[in-house]
Structures are given as structure tokens and as C-alpha cells.
Amino acid sequence: FILVESEGVSGRALTEYLADRGILVRFYSSERLKNFIRISVGTPSQTEPRAPVGPGVVRPRKPSANPGR
């Protein structure tokens, strides 16, 4: 699994956006994780997107200097 933090949009909104495009991820409603989604990782055929997501949805960012925070 990959835990991804969303910026500028809630995890719930991002989950709904992706689901509308056929991409299923896990959203957590707890206060600590409400801006995160969990992405499952599998084989390339299992994880290949079935529909375009759109520009600007996924943007890599540098790892945190404090990974435990």
C-alpha cells in the first residue's frame, strides 16, 4: 500500500473524484488521516489506470524531513 496525502482537497473528495473515473482507493475519516488516501499496489495489469485521471491530480513531492510527522 501507498499512503498519499492530498493537498488543497479532502481525502474524501479525492476518493470520490477518482471513483467517478473508475479508480478505487481507500479513504479514512479519522482526523489524523482525513487528507490521505491509500492506494493498493499490485501487478502492472492490476494497477494500470483504466481511464485518464486528468492533469494536476497527482504531483510528486519531496519526502518529508520528518517522516514520522
CA distances from 10 to 7, 14, 35, 43 (A): 7, 6, 5, 28
Indicate the helix (H) or strand (E) that contains 15: helix 11-20
pLDDT digits (tens, 9 = 90+) for 8-29: 888 899 889 888 888 888 998 8
Question: What pLDDT was estimated at residue 40?
Answer: 82
- Single-letter residue type at 53: V
Q: Please give the model's pTM, rounded to 2 decimal places.
A: 0.60
